[in-house]
Chain A
Amino acid sequence: MNKYLFYPGCSMQKNASSYLDSLMAIRADLGIGLEEIEDWNCCGATEYWSVHQLKAHALVGRNLALAEKQTNGTNTVVAGCSACYLNLAKTANYMKDDKVLRDRIEDALAAGGLHYTPGSLEIRHLLDIVYNDVGLETIKSKVVRPLTGLRIAPYYGCMIVRPDKDNRYGNPEYPMALDYLLEALGAKVIDFPQKTHCCSGHMTQISPDVAYELMHRLISGADRYEADMMVTLCPMCQLNLDAYQGDMNDYMGTDYQMPCLYFTQLIGLAFGYAPAELGIGKEFVDARPALAKIGVEVPEDVEVQKRKPRRRKKEEGLPMPRMGEEDGR
């Protein structure tokens, strides 16, 4: 049992509750213990950082101080949301290197009777934990219901690979961790070139036409490769691609129906949990028709689409370069 301190973040508690529910459902199977940080506060997302950087740092510093107090056999903090993860990690790192910033945050924390020792915590994203600590072998061993035949576009979002100096997910330009993870669940993962391109973040609020263009690139890309759904690991990405897909369709004059789920939900399905337990069905673009294609239980009111038969391409012409062992599979 690997123990971690858990920072859920505001999104996981509200609009991304299915992310949290599915994580809670599978954590025992994955063998990870998640101890929520007592009295944690918002990480500042992107809004507060654009208003006042120092105050935002202090805001995050409070979370770090609380986590440090709570370390009990572990000093790793796990966040499921990419923005929470990056904010926590950035502050923790800058406090190590920048003396001026460290002193000012210390002053702010002291005013609240708190203190954080730079370097005492390690901040990691949930995908990092699942891929590197739990490992594909463990996950494969727990799969009871392989997702065979489901075509998935793995979408990492921009944040977890920027920066990624330790190559935790593979090459930061073209990570493969989520791809391999979904393959371990039995799914067919398409080669999705926009896997780390921007989902538009908060541009949906500020500049919707830019946002729709960016979302359109992602969704049309997944559609071109005949993906049944997109899978992501960040509540912001999921919100944009899912909740705003309708508006995007109106704006661009398209009619995509590309569901977007969290990777924890897919793991839960493969581990045999019912869709309702994993929060499936709550999304704006219903994922259940896509899941019905592979025989996942479908409630009465949902229409089952027939699968298009796919023709196998014949091998002809010049041989392709070999891509085998070097990828680290």
Chain B
Amino acid sequence: MMSEQFEPVIIGFTCNWCSYRAADMAGTARIKYPPNVRLIRLMCSGRLDPTFVLKALSRGADGVLITGCHPGECHYLEQNYKALRRYRLLKRTIAQLGIEPDRVKLVWASAAEGVQLAREITTFVEEIRELGPLHWPTSMARPQAEQSVVLEEVAA
């Protein structure tokens, strides 16, 4: 049943050890959350290259959710701190690009926190819904090679 309201599309990055398992746990426990988030599995939140976020936004995502293990619990010991550092800088960068910084959000979730992750996803979907669609200007007609040049310029 499709409503008239805007349905955001959100890309979520999870880490293999904690937050992806939390998403699995939410599934196993049959906890319902909005289907607007599409999750990508990385080995660690430290793998998150900020260009992934920019790519996602430029390809039509209205928001990006970044998740990982709680500080102190990273499977690779301390890499989530590096993700946190990048995230902070990333928010400031996209603000300067004219994108609402609230479109990118970082939450920590341990493997046991399926309920909490589902709740965070639900909240984030509503937040993005209120912000509205991003409409990052991409021309439909441009071939892919040119598009990636645009992306590099933007990310530099």
Direct chain A–B contact by Cβ atoms under 8 Å: no
Instruction: List residues of B whose CB falls within 8 A of some A CB.
Output: none
